Amino acid sequence: MTDCYAVVGNPIAHSLSPRIHGAFAAQTGEDIRYEKRLVEKGGFADFARDFFAAGGCGLNVTLPFKLDACEFADTLTERARAAGAVNTLALQQNGTLLGDNTDGAGLVADIKDYLGWAIEDRKLLLLGAGGATRGALLPLLAEKPAQIHIANRTAQKAQQLVQDFSGYGPISASGLDAVPAGFDLVVNASAASLAGELPPLSPLVLATGAWAYDMVYGAEPTPFMRWAEQLGAETADGLGMLVGQAAEAFYLWRGLRPAVAPVLEMLRAELRDKHQA
């Protein structure tokens, strides 16, 4: 019988996950079905119970259900527990559900393996203190950066992350108006780009030769990428993170690591074509 997977969220129509997992399955010769499922807010647990009772093998979970999925899982990976959010549920052989958070691993893989940028011994600045930052912190700290500074519009939320994660490595926090200078890698994990906005930052936050990564992706560079480019930084958007987190989920479900680069290049070309049409 074909194994069934789905991505669940609200909204979900825009999701690229079925394209990505379809491409992974074709590439690895795995026989899977993968669907998009729209669920009403408050309806996650009922949906997930029915999905797994009907023989489903795994779910990807996107906004606004990552916290519900965390509660629904029977056991959590360390990175999901630290994030307090689950983006992947996997049915285990003993019938229990494992909750994982593959977002941060997807980000790290994109930065190191695809872009060829370094994290070890570098000074990192993370903009934003929401779920994406929470999910990224443990995988980033595992790469042994010299420092991670979290800057958020609401400084108190960034300070909370320092309290929660200081046992894992060197982290500090501030509001956006008090960011120190000289970071090697700046990751925009805020939702500012979704609103076409640029977080108010001093150019001094970028060290010479800095890299700038925006978790938001699209056919065009984001305001943050344009700002960093003008200051001489090399830039990237979050499409590779999206494909990277999906590859980690695929590995959790199928035990196989698909090649990310061809799928990323396919999606990039599709985004470009759609934009030009």
Is 132 a binding residue for ligand NDP by CB under 6 A? The answer is yes
Separation between Cα atoms, residue 167 and residue 142, nearest integer Å: 12
* Distance, C-alpha 210 to centroid of its chain: 21
Q: Does 129 bind ligand NDP (CB under 6 A)?
A: yes
Shortest Å distance, C-beta 155 to ligand NDP: 9
What radius of gyration, in Å, describes the C-alpha atoms of the chain?
19
Cα 33 to Cα 178: distance, rounded to the nearest angstrom: 48
131 counts as binding ligand NDP under rule CB under 6 A: yes
Does 128 contact ligand NDP by CB under 6 A? yes
DSSP for 77-128?
A: -HHHHHHT--SEEEE-TTS-EEEE--HHHHHHHIIIIIS----TT-EEEEE-
| Least distance CB 16 / ligand NDP (angstroms) | 10
Binding-site positions for shikimate: 15-17, 62, 87, 103, 217, 245
CA 133 – CA 122 distance, rounded (Å): 18
Question: Does 216 contact ligand NDP by CB under 6 A?
Answer: yes
The stretch near ligand NDP (CB under 6 A) out of 7-15, 18-26, 92-100, 211-219 is 211-219
Q: For ligand NDP, what does the binding mask look like between residues 185 and 204, x meaning CB under 6 A?
A: ----xxxx-xx-x-x-----
Specify the 3-state DSSP secondary structure of 185.
strand
Among the listed ranges 7-15, 46-54, 219-227, 241-249, the one in contact with ligand NDP (CB under 6 A) is 241-249
Has 66 been annotated as catalytic?
A: yes
Are 157 and 217 contacting, i.e. CB atoms less than 8 angstroms apart? Answer: no
The answer to the question of residue 228 lying near ligand NDP (CB under 6 A) is: no
The site that binds ligand NDP (CB under 6 A) totals a number of residues, namely 26
127 DSSP β-pair partners: 151, 188
Q: Which residues are part of the catalytic machinery?
A: 66
- List residues binding ligand NDP (CB under 6 A): 103, 128-133, 152-154, 157, 189-192, 194-195, 197, 199, 215-217, 238, 241-242, 245
